[in-house]
Chain A
Amino acid sequence: MIFSGAILLIATFGIVTRRGFADWLGAYRYQSIVLAAVTALIAYVTGIWEIYIAAGLTLVIKSIIIPKVLLYVTRNLEIEFKVETNPYVSLRASVIISAFLVALSYFLTQQIPFKSDPIVSTYLPISIALFLIGLFVIVNRRSALNQVVGLLIIENGLFLFTLTLTHGVSLIIEMGIFADILVGIIISSILLLRISRTFDSLDVGKLQNLRDD
């Protein structure tokens, strides 16, 4: 079981190291497939059938629909907007930092209750690690389009978090989150398009120019 968590972390690292838009989207697709498998495993362990639905939805929405939508929305975007050429911290350093974040999240969750529950003790630290890594990715990247990947990692972390703590009781809430993230992605992509047309750049550092000095 901890084994599946390990694979999920490896998939997350795959996203962190990717520079280009299409690259990380592919890696995100892999991560979502792993996440769906993890969900199915939780469903199998707990024996709650609703979680199988959540797993299926994850598979369909995150590994097929969201990448498709993102690719579709950004198909006309020029390539220089899609590749993260100059992150604040170099990608190799950010991998090491991510490893530290994983260690941190394990450290943070060392004293939690429910430790006896194998699902909680296995996946809770990983979900928090995903959350932290996602935040770090957003902080680190300059290109607004590539910040979306951080959002997606956070979303996956949150999904895993609710799943482990509630054991899938709140299927409705999760459906809501799914819909939310889908709409969020679409809106942000459209916004990005607008930004890129107006500023000729997706560097969020340049949004400072909007400030009314």
Chain B
Amino acid sequence: MISNLVLFQIPILLFLVGALSGLLSRNSRLARPMIFVPAMIGSIFTIIFSIDIITGASLKLAIPNILPFFNLEIFVDGVSAFFMLIIGIVSFAVSLYSIGYSKEYETKKRISVFGFLFNIFILSMILVVSSNNAFFFLIFWELMSLVSFFLVIYDHDKEENLKSGITYLVMTHFGTALIFVSFLLGYIQTGSFSFDSLRESSASFPLLVKNLVFAFAFIGFGVKAGIVPLHTWLPHAHPSAPSNVSALMSAVMIKMGIYGIVRTVFDFSGFGASPDFAWWGVLMIAVGSISAVSGVLYAVIEHDIKRALAYSSIENIGIILIGLGLSVVFAAYHLVSLSVLAFVASMYHTINHAVFKGLLFMGAGSVVYATHSRNIEDLGGIIKQMPWTSLLFLIGAVSIVGLPPFNGFVSEWLTLQAFLSSYQIPSTILQISIAFASLPFALTIGIASATFVRLFGITFLSRARSKHALNIKEVPRSMIIGMAVLAAACILLGILASLGISLISSAFHLPSQPSSPLDSITLQNNAKNAVHLSMPFVLILFSAIAVGAFGFIRTIGGKTSKTIYGTWDCGFGNLNEKMEYTATSLSQPIRAVFKVFFKPHNVTSKEFFVSTNQYLIKSIKFNSITKNIFEESLYQPIISSTLRVLDKIRKIQTGKINSYLLYIMITAVALLLFVRLSH
């Protein structure tokens, strides 16, 4: 039997090996296997290690005084292991996928640098979840942010990517600063940077400190998770990165924000079962609802396939936060079983989102790989040339929309059940607010369905809309297998829902209920009526109905033939791709219904053959513009007023020695006056 510690060291070593061999590979032909095979094996060991921790005892070790005053402390409990499992699963699939995907970087860019960053990125995330000391946590956190920043600007020959990289860098440091403040508050109280001392003494913090610790940590980690309105970096950074990195960032890295929030709320902040803390949950539900609705609303009108997926990540973070917030509210009122239900729902959605968003980003990456276009208006008809990618993308889409029998349905079902149980909270105003909060949640699910119908339908179905989508080939096999791993996880987590639930409950030491993976989920939130959900049985019903319907139709109707013929064109006879519905027109009703949010306006510009004759039109250009209210009404004013203030400050810099001396004199006099007056 190998001990925990060895199991923990193996993946770290493997990722380091991958990083080094990446550097040493010098862009040779062997570079891709040298980079990604160690990463794959490392991911497998990460999975093994995390399952070992979840089922067994936790790992704890400390290396004292690795730096003066700072001990390197490692603590991997179920919570860390759960997030490590997510990292392992997704990075295994992504590494496999990258073997094929990074082929085009082989000739164009330095793949060795990419390989180094890729391995370090995964490693830094593993270290973030396993560190047990605020100081090292921040170091690893910063490492993760910096490495991901370099990965975002990996395609740095496009100015757009550099710009989004800078936005990302600024925002993520803003977040890190707030996390630092939160830890400092803990340090002031305990005098130690170790998470252990925070854990022990946080219950005795004054209420104000507890609230502040939570607030700073929530906003700080929220930046990383991409909550609205601190999300602005996310829709720029994720599409800019290479698709395999976007998959890792969207599926795993933003979950580190969730990890931070979970750790802080339930471990460090001195959260207790008292209504004083209910506002934490309410805040999370409110922020989660806003994130979910605005994320999905931007996703549904977006043309860039990767940016649409990035916006959908914001939406899913919102859903996770709603579940977490419900759990906190229930816990504050000491409704333990309901709190567990909401928490399981939230964590289930966390792992689900990692799985299907990784799959979808890889699918989008495959589309970009084959067509070299991210604009869905250029695509179409891909399903005929890339059947496997299309099928796998469809599985991801159906899962993320939350349709049975896939995994998204299970977590959304659990969250909805948590909503339905909110009547047990002994506060009328909270009862009603939470009931009303289910509206944005349900709206989000509805719009998400529209989003993915549009993304899948326009990208993969009907006929090619431009030459980008013509004459394309299916992607290499390693990419397909990489996606298939996550697609299988989607189906598995959907059908064997009890498996996922028992995984979560043993990771977080929750009172668990289902024993065998085929069991149904039973919720006894009411004395009389228990609620059940059994996905395997739903599948049996599916097949029974399918067989029955097929038999019925064949016996009544017999065998009939199918004729392949052109689409009905009202006798026009010349249907072409320009007459198809476009992505813009498909989402037009949604833009119109939510016009308060989008503020759409149309610009029509005409070009004439002769400027004097306005009847002979050469061409008409129609442009439908929507506004991004967060960027235009929140960030623009802040940025411009900051610049204005800075402009004023600049006037102090006159360049004359005399004025600088004057400043020194004024300061000196002021200080002296201060000293005199304060006595």
Q: Which residues of A pack against B, CB within 8 Å? A: 90, 93, 103, 107, 110
Contacts and interface: CB of A to CB of B under 8 A. Distances in A.
A110 B596 contact: no
A93 B428 contact: no
A110 B432 contact: no
B429 interface: yes
The number of chain B residues touching the other chain, given as a range, is under 10
Contact of A93 (B429, B436, B596): B596
Nearest to A89: B596
B432 A103 contact: yes
A110 B436 CA distance: 19
Contact of A107 (B429, B436, B596): B429
8 contacts: A90-B596, A93-B596, A103-B432, A103-B436, A107-B428, A107-B429, A107-B432, A110-B428
Contacts of A90: 596
A173 to B, nearest CB: 34
Interface string B414-440: 000000000000001100100010000
Nearest to B595: A90
A95 to B, nearest CB: 13
A100 to B, nearest CB: 8
A110 B427 CA distance: 12
A74 to B, nearest CB: 31
Contacts of B432: 103, 107
Contacts of B428: 107, 110
Given A90-B596, A107-B428, 6 more contacts: A93-B596, A103-B432, A103-B436, A107-B429, A107-B432, A110-B428
A209 B432 CA distance: 44
A17 B484 CA distance: 51
Nearest to B435: A103
A67 B54 CA distance: 73
B426 to A, nearest CB: 14
A94 to B, nearest CB: 12
A93 B594 CA distance: 10
**Chain A interface main SS type:** helix
A93 B428 CA distance: 24
Interface string B344-387: 00000000000000000000000000000000000000000000
Contacts of B436: 103
Interface of B: 428-429, 432, 436, 596
Contacts of A103: 432, 436
A93 B597 CA distance: 13
A130 B640 CA distance: 45
A92 B436 CA distance: 16
B299 to A, nearest CB: 22
A107 B436 CA distance: 14
A146 B73 CA distance: 70
A90 B592 CA distance: 12
Nearest to B432: A103
A107 B429 CA distance: 8
B600 to A, nearest CB: 14
The 8 A-B pairs at the shortest CB distance, nearest first, are namely A103-B432, A107-B429, A110-B428, A93-B596, A107-B428, A103-B436, A107-B432, A90-B596
Nearest to B428: A110
Contacts of B429: 107
Nearest to B429: A107
Contacts of A107: 428-429, 432
Nearest to B593: A92
A155 to B, nearest CB: 28
A18 B596 CA distance: 21
A169 to B, nearest CB: 32
A210 to B, nearest CB: 30
Contacts of A93: 596
A154 B63 CA distance: 73
A193 to B, nearest CB: 34
A107 B430 CA distance: 11
A92 to B, nearest CB: 8
B252 to A, nearest CB: 38
A22 B436 CA distance: 33
A89 to B, nearest CB: 9
Nearest to A93: B596
Nearest to B433: A103
A112 B432 CA distance: 19
A90 B436 CA distance: 20
Nearest to A103: B432
A90 to B, nearest CB: 8
B530 to A, nearest CB: 30
A90 B596 CA distance: 9
B507 to A, nearest CB: 39
B326 to A, nearest CB: 20
A103 B435 CA distance: 12
A5 to B, nearest CB: 17
A90 B428 CA distance: 30
A103 B596 CA distance: 24
A90 B595 CA distance: 10
A93 B595 CA distance: 12
A123 to B, nearest CB: 19
A42 B157 CA distance: 78
A93 B596 CA distance: 10
A107 B427 CA distance: 12
B293 to A, nearest CB: 14
Nearest to A99: B436
A88 to B, nearest CB: 11
A97 to B, nearest CB: 12
A99 to B, nearest CB: 9
A98 to B, nearest CB: 14
B111 to A, nearest CB: 53
A61 B444 CA distance: 47
Nearest to B439: A96
Contacts of A110: 428
Nearest to A100: B436
A51 B436 CA distance: 38
A90 B597 CA distance: 13
A45 B384 CA distance: 73
